[in-house]
Amino acid sequence: MNRFIPRFFSCTICAFHFAANSANIARPDEPRFPEHRLKPSEFNWDESILSQLPAAPTTAFEEVLWLNAVHNRVNKRLSGDITEDPMAKKVQYPPRDVCPACWSRDPENDEKYILGKTEKTKTVLFAFLVDHYKPTSWVTAALPLSFLKLRGSVEWEDSTSRDLTTVVAVSVVITVIAVVAILLLSRFIWRFRTRKCGVSGYTHPVSTGLLA
């Protein structure tokens, strides 16, 4: 990701910020930032950021947590920015109301909570992220209400059965069309062959001397 996103992300400033947030996993023999792109004037790099970055992952478990931590670093930087979507605030994900067990009290400040800093909360956070982003959750999972500013009650519809019905209906229609097309084609071929055989087997009376 450190090699791909900074080089192909269409948003240049976003690409440089991602490169900065993943600088500690860049290959030693490669530049940290894309050389073929002009560095935005508003982007500033400070070597001290390396000590603040999430530790480079070495296992699949750590990779999931690392990516979420990097994403939260971006959310923290953009929180309150003019580009922030008012309907989807840049918060530390998942927030406490979505995954309370992912958070623990800050040992240095009992009034604050920290995300995924203990072994227990890391395990819970990993399980939450894997479950939340698994393919079967893409259809049925709804955004938490805390992300939305809606008035009145909101009922989320489980579209799984509806989507399945649509797929079945479309499949049936396509199958019927295919069967009809095959039958028509078969009839056309049969008639063509029948007509061809009839013409080739026909003998004119004069040529046989029957009318002589």
**What would the two tokens of residue 168 be?**
């079945």
Q: What is the pLDDT of residues 88-135, one digit of tens each?
A: 889 999 999 999 999 999 998 988 999 999 999 999 999 999 999 887
Find all residues with CB under 8 Å of 84, minimum gap 6, and list them.
78, 90
Q: What is the pLDDT of residues 4-19, one digit of tens each?
A: 878 888 888 888 888 8
Number of H helices, E strands in the chain: 7, 2
Strand partners, 103: 115
Q: Tell me, yes or no, if the pTM score tops 0.95.
A: no
Single-letter code of the amino acid located at 193: R
The domains of the chain, with CATH numbers, are: 1-53 (no CATH), 55-139 (1.20.120.310)
CA–CA separation, 121 and 103 (whole Å): 6
Omega cis (within 30) before 94: yes
Three-state secondary-structure class, residue 119: helix
